[in-house]
Structure 1
Amino acid sequence: MPARPVRRAFLKAGLALAALLSAPVLSQPARAAEKLVFMLDWQAEAEHGGYFQAVAEGLYQKAGLDVTIVPGGPGMSAQQLLAAGKIDGTIGSNAFYVLNLVEAGAKVKAVASMFQKDPTILMAHARNTTSLADLKGRPIFLGDPSINTVWRWLKSKYPFEDSQIRRYTGNLAPFLTTPTAAAQGYATSEPLTAKKAGADVKVFLLADQGYDGYSGLVMFNDAYIQAHPAAVKAFIAATAEGWRHYLHGDAAPADALIRKSNPDMDTETLAYGRKALVDDGIVEGTPAAPDAIGRMTAARWDSFTNEMKRLGIYKAATDWKAGVDLAN
């Protein structure tokens, strides 16, 4: 993801915040609410809309949860904090995060996937690109984490070479000024940035090209899962409901919270991101299935892990089951 300024504010999913933003206030449940600290994988944006919708509508409170949402940002490893027990839960941006933590022996698990498709894209200048195969021999700007993961998958499918790699640091200017180049990004953001700069781009969603990894994974520390199993299930259900409302209802309450957490986020970018999440089937899959939100299957984890083992990314003994809990 492109670099963005760090914002250190915390958002408390409580009555005071809901009242401040004129969101509906729901009665607290009679029993004591379960406390839960959940960290985002980046600064607040449309990709987190379901979480903020659940806050704004009081869905977590209604489920008996006292949720604190903590924004992420550059230089902050939510997965490391989770493994160290400093937070209860976080987002695994893609399936590689889960398998990397398995190989590291971390006591954490993915319990749901809020994105049925990974939003990772390659985009190129439209005037000379009709397919991914056209990118053979051209410069391709990639973020460092993708070079030993997504890039190896791409090389197994297309005639690409490592000599094409250029480092993508979040600044699209080198791509925009290189007519033959392509760049990695997210369907929810980089195409809009390119459009604002006057570029006409061709966008390839890798999930529609055969890349089948989960994304937007809800991850919890093993200790929290064991101590609070009902809270984990309630969090997943409330977040899934938040996503349904964000995508198909009034997104204004969530967008207000997102902009409060991340003042650099503008309404145009939020609207573009939300539309991309719907149009590309990122959250609900293609064809759209609202009840698919959060779903994971053993068959899909088997398929993804085995393919990445064949590419040499993971050891033959790596077992995805050590990092995934399908019981929720």
Structure 2
Amino acid sequence: MFQRTIIVTAFAGLAATTAMAQTAVPFALDWKFEGPAAPYFVAIDKGYFADKGLEVEITEGAGSLDAIPKIATGAFPVGFADINSVIKFLDQNPGAPVTGIMMIYDKPPFAVIGRKSLGITDDPKSLEGKVLGAPPPDGAWAQFPIFAAENELDMSSITVEPVGFPTREPMLAEGNVASITGFSFTSYLNAARLGVPEDDLVTLLMSDHGVDLYGNAIIVNTDYAAENPDVIKGFLEAVAMGWKDAIADPSAAVESLMERNPAADAELETRRLQLSIDANVATEAAMAGFGLIDEDRMASAVEQIKLTYEFTNEPDVASYFTEDYLPEAGFPLE
């Protein structure tokens, strides 16, 4: 996939006689420069990173799992990735220097998007006997086994077609598959943009059908964080301010996105951002303290992951997420 890297230098204020040096912080996104990425560009354009003495470099990703090895190897200090995939990665790579530090998608956008005209309804059982298109690196596909187990789907009756991210929605639009896995705010709108009537689209949000997991979070290389705690704290505060502004005015936030992706459809990306805010980000729990997690819910999520994944090592919930770099009450979004 074509990958762009946007480097934006945010100039810090000058001291009385000398300029303050900035710290470069490369940030690995999970996906392309679309609506839900806008808050991070808002944080650049409004100087929130600069105020913390940070120079931010944002790089596109190739899926919800993409950033994890980038962070674990130290290629990037911070990234954005599916926390459930982080949990599995840490089980397979004990002691790897990566953990979650700020929950963004309190309610995950993992979904199956299908077409009514091809037999898909709001009942997960309608997937049986049909063809499902799923990109192997897709975060939603990674959680599909839990969705299938919770809804007692007969997987032997579902034909799973491995597809690439660029061909996923086109295959659905062309009727080559009856449904696809993806993020609700991405695949739904992409399919509609390709000409699928919206009244023919069905969104099966996994969290509405028994999947009780968290979604994507800011993750960090723990070695870097231990050596640069103030950098990480400042980075998270700037991110929170970017999201706060985006929630207050999604259209204005997308203007920052359009500067980096002028080929995008501003109206479409504003809608995509709004969908992510409404369904995934601005939940009741997040509005009470953005960035935090509930320990009992995380423990429950680990138990649910066990339904379809056999841990090699005893799960250690404390290693998957830390609130050490967040305010005690989280960040305010209002």
Decide whether the 8 Å contact of 1:118 with 1:214 is kept in 2. yes
Question: Which residue of structure 1 lines up, in the alignment, with residue 329 of structure 2?
Answer: none
SS at match of 2:112: strand
- Do residues 115 (structure 1) and 119 (structure 2) align? no
SS of equivalent to 2:185: coil
Cα distance in 1, alignment partners of residues 231 and 104 from structure 2: 17
Rounded to whole Å, the distance in 2 between the matches of 1:89 and 1:37 is 7
2:269 corresponds to which residue?
270
Q: Alignment partner of 1:68: what SS?
A: strand
User: How much does 1:251 deviate?
Assistant: 4.0
1:125 to 2:120 alignment: no
RMSD: 2.7
The reply on whether 1:42 has 2:34 as its aligned counterpart is no
CA shift, 1:239, in A, is 0.6
CA contact (8 A) 2:28 2:61 kept: yes
Matches within 5 A, 1:12-31: 12-15=8-11, 27=13
State how far apart, in whole Å, the 2-side matches of 1:108 and 1:319 are.
Answer: 13
What residue in structure 2 maps to residue 160 of structure 1? Answer: 154
Distance in 2 between residues matched to 1:162 and 1:168, nearest whole Å: 19
1:81 and 2:70 equivalent? yes
Q: Partner of 1:95: helix, strand, or coil? A: helix
Question: Are positions 1:9 and 2:40 aligned together?
Answer: no
Q: Equivalents in 1 of 2:41, 2:106: separation in Å?
A: 19
Q: Deviations over 1:70-92 (max 9, x none)?
A: 33348x94322221212211111
Post-superposition shift, 1:238?
A: 1.6
Quick one: structure 1 residues 35 and 102, their matched pair in 2 at CA, closer, same or farther if it must change by over 3 Å?
farther
- 1:299 and 2:308 correspond: no
Q: Is the 8 A contact 1:78 1:90 kept in 2?
A: yes
Unpaired stretches in structure 1, ≥5 consecutive residues:
16-25
Distance of aligned partners of 1:284 and 1:264 in 2 relative to their CA distance in 1, 3 Å threshold: same
**Structure 1 residues 105-114 or 139-148, which shifts more?**
139-148
Residue 70, structure 1, aligned to residue 24, structure 2: no
5 Å-filtered alignment, 1:211-290, equals: 211-249=211-249, 251-252=251-252, 254-280=253-279, 282-285=280-283, 287=284, 289-290=286-287
| C-alpha contact (below 8 Å) 2:250/2:274 kept by paired residues | no
Query: What is the CA-CA distance between 1:133 and the residue it aligns to?
Result: 2.4
Deviation at 1:195, TM superposition (A): 2.0
SS in 1 for 2:304: helix
The runs of at least 4 consecutive aligned structure 1 residues that moved more than 6 Å come to: none
Percent identity between the two aligned chains:
21
SS in 2 for 1:219: strand
Higher relative CO (CA 8 A, sep ≥ 6), structure 1 or 2?
Answer: 1
Q: Cα 1:13–1:140, aligned 2, differ >3 Å: closer, same or farther?
A: same
Letter in 1 for 2:129: G
Task: Decide whether the 8 Å contact of 1:149 with 1:313 is kept in 2.
Answer: no
For residues 183-234 of structure 1, the C-alpha deviation after alignment (integer angstroms, 9 at most, x for no partner) is 1122222212222313321112112223222222111111211111122122
Deviates more, 1:171-180 or 1:258-267: 171-180
Query: What SS class does the counterpart of residue 195 from structure 1 fall into?
Result: helix
1:195-210 to 2 correspondences below 5 Å: 195-196=192-193, 197-199=195-197, 200-210=200-210
Shift of 1:245: 0.5
Task: Give how far 1:292 is off.
Answer: 3.5
Q: TM-score, normalised by structure 2?
A: 0.82
Distance 1:182 1:304 in 2: 26
The structural deviation recorded for 1:142 is 1.6
Q: Distance in 1 between matches of 2:28 and 2:235?
A: 13
After TM superposition, the structure 1 stretch with the greater mean CA deviation from structure 2, 85-94 or 142-151, is 142-151
Cα 1:52/1:313, change in 2 over 3 Å: farther
Distance 2:286 2:226 in 1: 30
2 CA distance for matches of 1:275 and 1:232?
27
TM-score, normalized by length of structure 1? 0.84
Partners of 1:151 and 1:119 lie apart in 2 by 12
* Alignment size in residue pairs: 310
User: How far apart are residue 42 of structure 1 and its match?
Assistant: 2.0
39-48 vs 239-248, greater mean Cα deviation: 39-48
